[in-house]
Amino acid sequence: QQQVKQSPQSLIVQKGGISIINCAYENTAFDYFPWYQQFPGKGPALLIAIRPDVSEKKEGRFTISFNKSAKQFSLHIMDSQPGDSATYFCAASDAGNMLTFGGGTRLMVKP
Partner 1 sequence: NAGVTQTPKFQVLKTGQSMTLQCAQDMNHEYMSWYRQDPGMGLRLIHYSVGAGITDQGEVPNGYNVSRSTTEDFPLRLLSAAPSQTSVYFCASSSPMTGFYGYTFGSGTRLTVV
CB-based contacts of 8, cutoff 8 Å, min separation 6: 21, 105
Regarding beta strands 33-38 and 19-25, do their DSSP bridges make them parallel or antiparallel, or are they unpaired? unpaired
Distance in angstroms (rounded) separating the CA atoms of residues 74 and 4 = 12
Does 41 bind partner 1 (CB under 8 A)? Our answer is yes
When binding is defined by CB under 8 A, the residue of 18, 29, 45, 78 that contacts partner 1 is: 45
Sheet architecture: strand order including 19-25: 4-7, 19-25, 72-77, 62-67, 56-59
- Binding status of residue 89 toward partner 1 by CB under 8 A: yes
Of 20 and 49, CB closest to partner 1: 49
Q: Is 29 in the site for partner 1 (CB under 8 A)?
A: no
Task: Name the residue nearer to partner 1 (CB basis): 3 or 55.
Answer: 3
In the complex, the residues that contact partner 1 under the rule CB under 8 A are 6, 9, 32, 34, 36, 41-46, 49, 89, 93, 96, 98-104
